[in-house]
């Protein structure tokens, strides 16, 4: 081969290597853990990832006010038989999922207009007749998932005004930029528990957050490394599972909120809705959305600080809500951080009280990797 052609060929190969090298050496995305591969005897909830399947089970429990043992044989014991079909409620649940799908398909273009909660509202048997007290008592307002935008005639601040006040209340943009990591220690009280469990939190910008609770039954963890996220629970049929889709986006949002200076840019679109009240305090209500994620934020009108966030993940039977309440803000490295967080979701509620936060410290990066399974 003439030397000119040889050199030209080498250049082509070199350029091709520059283009292909990132794809060749980049880690392949982890294979999604599918419920069909993990659980037995799935008949109607096929094609779901494990996290979406678990969220669906949580919505069943919330909508009908039942626990695992009401549908599954031996649940709560040492040898549950999840795949058994001996419980009538399990068979009824399958039939009702098919009914729900047909109603939505035939009347709402396949959207999730009707879910388990639509009729049951925390009762095993939907109520069919209104009570007189319900008719004449003060109405209980239940906000929809997608909130309406405040009308032009209502006196509400703009999204920018809400966030400007929030940033100033936290300590200002300059202080927020200087906070790049922190570790925290405290305790967590589980719902309906009497003893608090030791808790550790690790946060690093951008997008890394790990919360670890040493429960008596084993270690509970929620971890995000900025790209992937995991949940580990000691008393579930799947002790550890990865988050996917909208649940993964929710995990990324939780990590972003550890460094709220960038929260305004996290969503593609925002809207200001009508004000609300939490524990007697008036709140500005702002809702953000991006592909796969919807979240609502409640900002205290007086202090400007964030009091509550509610985000939603998708499931086969409706949106799965996660609510985090923030309180007891204290200055750390010039930034107001909440020392109390109440984390509520369909698998439990935890009240975390931090006692010590160390800012801008080096963190072992293994804290942000897939959590190691704890012994049962």
Structural domains for the chain: 35-127 (1.10.468.10), 159-368 (2.50.20)
pLDDT at 29: 52
Residue whose C-alpha is closest to residue 222's, from 354, 17, 371, 109 = 371
| SS3 of the chain: helix, strand, coil, percent, to 5 | 30, 30, 40
Q: How confident is the model at residue 359 (pLDDT cuts 50, 70, 90)?
A: very high
pTM for the whole structure:
0.87
Mean pLDDT on 249-263: 94
Q: CA-CA distance, 339 to 186, in Å (whole number)?
A: 9
CB 230 within 8 A of CB 240: yes
Assigned token pair, 113: 């207009």
Residue whose C-alpha is closest to residue 54's, from 311, 253, 240 = 240
- Residues 6+ away with beta carbon under 8 Å from 85: 41, 91
Say if residue 27's pLDDT is above 50: no
pLDDT at 3: 43
pLDDT at 374: 63
Helix or strand or coil: residue 122?
coil
Strand positions, DSSP E, 82-196: 181-190
Assigned token pair, 353: 């009280």
Say if residue 96's pLDDT is above 70: yes
- Residues 6+ away with beta carbon under 8 Å from 158: 272
Say if residue 26's pLDDT is above 50: no
For 326-339, write each residue's pLDDT tens digit: 999 999 999 999 99
pLDDT at 84: 85
For residues 151, 157, 163 and 165, what is the CA-based torsion angle, rounded to 10 degrees?
Answer: -160
Say if residue 82's pLDDT is above 90: no
Mean pLDDT of the chain: 87
Q: CA-CA distance, 55 to 95, in Å (whole number)?
A: 19
CB 338 within 8 A of CB 326: yes
Assigned token pair, 242: 């990865």
CB 309 within 8 A of CB 297: yes
Q: How confident is the model at residue 30 (pLDDT cuts 50, 70, 90)?
A: low
Say if residue 184's pLDDT is above 50: yes
Say if residue 16's pLDDT is above 50: no
* Pairing of β 293-300 and β 320-332: unpaired
Assigned token pair, 155: 């006196």
For 271-316, write each residue's pLDDT tens digit: 999 999 999 999 999 999 999 899 999 999 999 999 999 999 999 9
């Amino acid at each position: 081969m003439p030397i000119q052609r040889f050199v030209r060929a080498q250049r082509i190969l070199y350029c091709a290597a520059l283009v292909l090298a990132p794809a060749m050496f980049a880690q392949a995305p982890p294979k999604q853990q599918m419920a069909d591969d993990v659980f037995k005897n799935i008949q109607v909830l096929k094609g779901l990832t494990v996290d979406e399947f678990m969220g669906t089970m949580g919505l069943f429990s919330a909508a009908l006010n039942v626990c695992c043992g009401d549908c599954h044989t031996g649940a709560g014991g040492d040898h549950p038989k999840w795949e058994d079909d001996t419980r009538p409620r399990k068979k009824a649940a399958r039939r009702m999922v098919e009914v729900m799908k047909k109603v939505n398909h035939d009347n709402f273009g396949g959207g999730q207009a009707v879910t388990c909660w639509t009729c049951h509202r925390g009762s095993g048997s939907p109520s069919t007749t209104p009570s007189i007290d319900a008719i004449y008592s003060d109405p209980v307002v239940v906000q929809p998932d997608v909130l309406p935008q405040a009308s032009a005639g209502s006196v509400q601040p703009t999204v920018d005004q809400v966030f400007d006040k929030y940033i100033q209340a936290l300590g200002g943009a300059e202080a927020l930029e200087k906070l790049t990591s922190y570790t925290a220690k405290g305790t967590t009280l589980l719902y309906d528990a009497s003893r608090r469990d030791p808790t550790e939190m690790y946060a690093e910008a951008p997008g890394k957050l790990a919360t670890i609770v040493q429960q008596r039954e084993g270690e509970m963890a929620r971890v995000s490394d900025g790209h992937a996220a995991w949940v580990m629970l000691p008393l579930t049929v799947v002790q550890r599972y990865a988050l996917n889709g909208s649940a993964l986006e929710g995990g990324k949002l939780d990590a972003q909120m550890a460094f709220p200076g960038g929260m305004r840019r996290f969503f593609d679109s925002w809207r200001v809705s009508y004000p609300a009240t939490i524990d007697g305090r008036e709140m500005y209500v702002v809702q953000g959305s991006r592909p796969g994620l919807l979240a609502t934020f409640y900002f205290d009108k007086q202090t400007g600080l964030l009091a509550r966030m509610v985000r939603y993940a998708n499931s086969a039977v409706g949106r799965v809500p996660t609510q985090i309440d923030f309180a007891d803000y204290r200055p750390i490295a010039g930034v107001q951080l909440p020392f109390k967080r109440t984390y509520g979701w369909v698998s439990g509620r935890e009240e975390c009280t931090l006692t010590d936060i160390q800012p801008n410290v080096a963190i072992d990066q293994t804290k942000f990797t897939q959590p190691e399974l704890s012994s049962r």
